[in-house]
A and B are shown apart, each in its own frame.
Chain A
Amino acid sequence: MKHDIITDAKKSISGAVHTDRRHDSAEKHVTGRAEYCDDIAEPQGTLHAYLGTSTVAHGLIRSMDLDAVLAAPGVIGVLTADDVPGHNDISPTGQKDEPVFPVDRTEFHGQPLFAVIATSRDAARRAAELAKIDYEVLPHALDPVSAIEADYPHVTEPLKLERGDIAPAFDSAKNRIKGRMTIGGQDHMYLEGQIAFAIPGEDDDVVVHCSTQHPSEAQHMVAHVLGVPSNAVTVNVRRMGGGFGGKESQMNLFCAVAAIAAKKWNRPVKIRPDRDQDMTATGKRHDFVVDYDVAFDDTGRIEAVDGTFAARCGYSSDLSGPVTDRALFHADNAYFYANVRLTSRPMKTNTVSNTAFRGFGGPQGVVAAERMIEEIAYALGKDPLEIRKTNFYGDRNDGRILTPYHQEVEDNILPRLIGDLESSSDYQARREAVLQHNARSSMIKRGIALTPVKFGISFTATWYNQAGALIHIYNDGSIHLNHGGTEMGQGLNTKVAQVVADAFQVDFERIKITKTTTEKVPNTSATAASSGSDLNGMAALNAAEQLKERLVAFAAERWNSEPETIRFHNNMVEIGSELVSFNDLVRQAYMARVHLSAAGFYKTPKIHWDRAAGKGRPFYYFAYGASCSEVSVDTLTGEYRVERTDILHDVGKSLNPILDKGQVEGAFIQGMGWLTTEELWWDQAGRLRTHAPSTYKIPLASDRPRQFTVKLAEWSENKERTIKRSKAVGEPPFMLGISVFEALSMAVASVADYRECPRLDAPATPERVLMAIERLKNRE
């Protein structure tokens, strides 16, 4: 009998791990029924807040006359620094350099100085324009170079990574190149902007609905500015309309303002900036100016690297410390530097405080590494891919495994991965064809590049590498799943639910995915650093295993059998010779008073980091990938088109291949946008002039490569014991976009017969491409 049932039920559960499972909210997305923060029904009496901002980049605030604001129709009141009941500070790393509202000094154009509270958003927005603020204007520095010239301070302690001895290596080197690369920043351009909606409660309580990747931080910040314990504040996030790092710390301001106003007037308060204010008042990816000095032998092998990474951090530290650190951690990309010194310069500037963005500084490090590879290739007249291969990390046998931060690269799969992509993309033959085309064609030039990425996984702030989850099994057998991660489109909730479905061997549909809330799982880390599934999947698995253990113990006793023989399979539980449904087992366990709720926990093993010494193992493992792109460039205008891209990316043993593929494709396009059309442009007054999609151009469907093939390295399996041997996927594929940038560079180089590295700065807008072409042509 039992065997028949097993045979009948040989089909597996729905939504098992390692299978394609659509996003759990897909149907709600396509019908418009997925609820975002601004869609939550507003209780009667809800007020709306809007920010009033600075109109100078740097100045002392002599006076702030808000009479006209207060007199405007619908206005209930204003909030300034004086109205912050607790601490006027929302700096995420505790440096106390980021007030909710400044007291006497504005440090960037567009800095929020006050908030208006009104009966409608429109009224608040109009009133915010009416402030009369008198400034004593001070000189400003907008970019890292002018900040260094003006002797501006670092916003946080710089980092130095050093290994070997560069001085003798440079002295004895056969070849040496020094250069500078300017790398632009990037706006997140999440489709759903920043928003927070606070509802006051009894005592000190306040509930804040918002769109944040870091509910625990928002909770702590709100408590901090209100001057109440964290237990009074609840932060809820059902889903975000995109995050990409832009909602890791940047939501704090909005949560704080909504919460202060909600408590002050004892009414619900919502704040939602318009797109322009969202883009001017919240941080972005850091721009970098990288000075590099590289020594290499005649085969192109790197002997020494000296790199200085100066970043536009903005007026405060925000996350600039860990961001600039991560730039250094990735300044090797996939290459072994025999002797190396890398220094960060996190510069204070009179611009919005820059923040996390997919890759978190890593992409800027990687793109600088690839620039050095290019320099070597053009200097030696070789294919950059050959130089890349010459410099890849090796293995224990050749001893080329130590990173600049003294962690050994133990899981290098790049040789195989690159080999696979080189042949599947037909790189060699196509490069030859590109060279031939360029020899024939004077106006349209082509370029092709195959670039690798190696990306370190773990928060470099070691304590962040922990997570919690909460699972309830109700007595009807339905499962309620909650964890500390947040859903921003990446499919985290789907993946974690798959892990739980797999653990209990029940259908995916049985699991109810619930909003992230600080009431259920405390002290969570940001859903960031690509760590969402790694951390929360493990925490949920831990909770599920605790519950299974209790169920098994109960079943063993109830059916008088050995715990080892009890198996969960396809919504059933096999207990000795009995086969009971999961529902039955749960019901009986409940009747027998078994505790059917469990909190799970996880912390990443093995990692440690000594920042002062610049040594340790900051990363649990590395994720790898490579992409090959071919472009056409019109040398008369600098306009270009991506003809073809082939990608092979490593996600270990994927929890959900179709979602991972979606991450890889989306990240590639976003990375390509960063390096091509997405340009942040400040005028001399320090005003950001590209502050909405009309002026800031992210890729469109028609910017996709004309041929686009994306594959996961199916043979890969994480060497470390991660959740089901998968690997993180959020950030690493972002850097695959570099292949487009490098291909453009090759097309430009062709106008000077590849004798000179074009030193294209990023983003390579048509303008930069044309100007580089003109520069190279005029030198001929």
Chain B
Amino acid sequence: MTYRTEIRFLLNGADVTVTDVPADKTLLDYLRLERRLTGSKEGCAEGDCGACTVLVGRLAGGGLKYETVNACIRFLASLDGCHVVTIEHLRGQNGGLHPIQQAMVDFHGSQCGFCTPGFVMSLYALWMGNPEPTETEVESAIQGNLCRCTGYQPIIAAAMAANRYGSPAQDFLETERVNITERLTALSDGRRVVTGPKDNQAILPADVADFAAVLEEFPQATIVAGSTDVGLWVTKFMRPIGPAVFISHLQELKSVTLSDTALEIGAGVTYSEAQETICETFPHLKSYWDRIAGQQVRNMGTIGGNIANGSPIGDTPPVLIALGAQIVLRKGAKQRSLPLEQFFIEYGKQDRAPSEFVESILIPRPRPGQLHAAYKISKRRDEDISSVAAGFNVTVSDGRITDCRLAFGGMAGTPKRAAKAEAALRGQPWGEAAFLAAGQALQADFTPLSDWRASAEYRATAARNLLQRFFLTHDDRSEAPADLLSA
């Protein structure tokens, strides 16, 4: 088999072929420096401000789907076979302003204007999929966009009114859908792509078997799925990542399968792709899921990556551990599975051998008698990294706690179960006393750190109080609302 050595994609209206693409070249630098498409801005280069937001369209599930992404941390190589749409491509029916742009002008949604192209792109994606959004849906769509001038009110108003300015059915991306689909289909040749200089090579495997083969060949290769973490290794820390294996295009890693007993999620499934099934299967994760990063990062980042990078403050591990999730690892053709909590050995160290990769996550479905909760405490409610995250899964039978899994993030060097607190709960009658005692026991489970997100004291106190919150919100006699401050 011969490898392809160039990246091919559509940029706005043009077919683009780029040869010799280094693994660490970002889409934003490509757009701004090589194409002089300067409408997309660099505000933070870490996927937090949204000034660089562009749309990426790709063929998935038999259709063409557009999503917002942060161009600053998206690698150019990962765009093979995609359609990149930047602010420069937007136009209205008559060649004038696009409906979203006109609404933003009429509602005074820009002041300094630097964040504006990013907002327009986020609102554009929202309008295409949901032309009559609620205020909460708008807020969610722009969680990954910072504006320092307006206070957001006019932007929200513009988003709510956008549909009066034009219908997505007449939008150019809609009318060009068949054409773009054909052009993207023509680009997919099922070949492995190897491009870039020797020390900074980007590799796009042809399929999962090929991915396994690539890793056997390059055991120390950097695996890049959504690049929401690896992107920062490059933009913030200037770390070399080559050779890098890009896997976001591998459809086999994107399956979401619900059986009678479990939900199986491929390691390449993004937060956005998993959202609907996750939240239907585990309703307690609904508001939690909305608080994972911002929309752009949810569109890029994968659950597999969130686990595999081993961060002690990833959003998904605590809640997945509480649910009793298993992960499936693969090396070559050989698979093994283990309880998720065992994957995290210590800070910076996971149970993953060279050439091995996370293939899927298996989450048991809720069983009768189980009470679930997922909590995230952060300085800012949305688009923040947790100070403390917690997943609770408590089985109550005949008024007695028969089993429980209490998992925490932000409390130790890894996501971790609270063994002593669990022991304090197990076998106890359901009641506030048991949870207060578990809260006390929790203090012996963890010795959290102080840092810029929270002090050790706050982490310990809040974590303890979450057990009380769990009791109060699940107790039939309590008047506490199920979700205290959520919208």
Contact = CB atoms under 8 A, between A and B. Distances in A.
Please say whether chains A and B are actual partners in one complex: yes
B452 A694 contact: no
A41 interface: yes
B402 interface: no
Nearest to B40: A32
Given A32-B87, A241-B114, A701-B142, A640 B148 contact: no
B151 interface: yes
Interface string A125-153: 11001000000000000000000000000
Contacts of A491: 111
Interface string A166-198: 000000000000000000000011111100000
A666 B150 contact: yes
A697 interface: yes
- A-B pairs with lowest CB-CB distance, top 6: A32-B39, A489-B112, A241-B114, A29-B113, A669-B151, A489-B111
Main secondary structure of the interface of B (DSSP, over half): loop
Interface in B75-118: 86-88, 90, 97, 100-101, 104-106, 108-117
15 contacts: A26-B108, A32-B38, A32-B40, A32-B120, A38-B38, A38-B41, A189-B146, A190-B114, A191-B112, A191-B114, A669-B152, A694-B44, A698-B148, A704-B152, A770-B461
Contact of A637 (B40, B48, B114, B469): B469
Interface string B136-169: 0011101101111111111110000000000000
B120 to A, nearest CB: 6
Contacts of A662: 108, 111, 149-151, 154
A244 B111 CA distance: 12
A191 B41 contact: yes
B210 interface: no
Interface in A407-450: 443-444
A632 B481 CA distance: 13
B112 A488 contact: yes
A23 B138 contact: no
Interface in A631-671: 632, 634, 636-641, 658-659, 662, 665-670
A762 to B, nearest CB: 14
B155 A701 contact: yes
Contacts of B236: 274, 276, 692
B49 interface: yes
A498 to B, nearest CB: 15
A30 B469 contact: no
A415 B106 CA distance: 35
B281 to A, nearest CB: 25
Interface size class of A (residues with CB under 8 A): 35 or more
B45 interface: yes
A390 to B, nearest CB: 32
Contacts of A716: none
A31 B146 CA distance: 18
A667 B111 CA distance: 12
Contacts of B38: 32, 35, 38-39
A693 B87 contact: no
Contacts of A708: 153
Contacts of B114: 36, 190-192, 241-242, 489
A683 B480 CA distance: 39
Interface in A1-42: 22-23, 25-36, 38-39, 41
B46 interface: yes
Interface string B227-264: 00000000110100000000000000000000000000
B111 A774 contact: no
B113 A694 contact: no
Given A191-B147, A636-B468, A700-B152, 20 more contacts: A22-B106, A26-B104, A29-B116, A32-B88, A32-B117, A34-B113, A41-B36, A191-B112, A193-B43, A241-B41, A274-B235, A488-B112, A489-B111, A634-B485, A637-B465, A677-B380, A681-B451, A704-B156, A766-B387, A767-B387
Contact of A702 (B44, B88, B382): B382
Interface string A476-494: 0000000000001111000
A26 B105 contact: yes
A511 interface: no
Contact of B112 (A41, A239, A640, A770): A239
A39 B37 CA distance: 9
A766 B41 contact: no
Contacts of A403: none
Interface in A216-263: 239-244
Contacts of A765: 379
B41 A36 contact: yes
B105 A27 contact: yes
B116 A30 contact: yes
Contacts of B153: 665, 704, 708, 710
A191 B115 contact: yes
Contacts of A193: 43
Contact of B462 (A26, A443, A488, A770): A770
A443 B470 CA distance: 12
B381 interface: yes
B454 interface: yes
A494 B481 CA distance: 49
B458 A636 contact: no
B361 interface: no
Interface string A699-716: 111111010101000000
Contacts of B235: 274
A34 B117 CA distance: 10
Contacts of A31: 39, 87-88, 90, 97, 101, 117
B221 interface: no
Contacts of B113: 23, 25-26, 28-30, 34, 239, 241, 489
Interface string A617-638: 0000000000000001010111
Interface string B266-291: 00000000000000000000000000
Contacts of A275: 43-46
A189 B148 contact: yes
Interface string B449-472: 001111101100110011011001
Contact of A666 (B46, B151, B451): B151
A193 to B, nearest CB: 8
B484 interface: yes
Nearest to B119: A30
Contacts of A637: 377, 462, 465-466, 469
B348 to A, nearest CB: 19
A374 interface: no
A192 B41 contact: yes
Contacts of B10: none
A700 B380 contact: yes
A677 B485 CA distance: 16
B110 A29 contact: yes
Interface string B1-45: 000000000000000000000000000010010001011111111
A679 interface: yes
A23 B114 CA distance: 14
Contacts of A690: 452
Contacts of A683: 452
A667 B148 CA distance: 9
A118 B340 CA distance: 47
A25 B40 CA distance: 17
B346 interface: no
B216 to A, nearest CB: 32
B112 A700 contact: no
A14 to B, nearest CB: 15
B149 A701 contact: no
A25 B48 CA distance: 25
A771 interface: yes
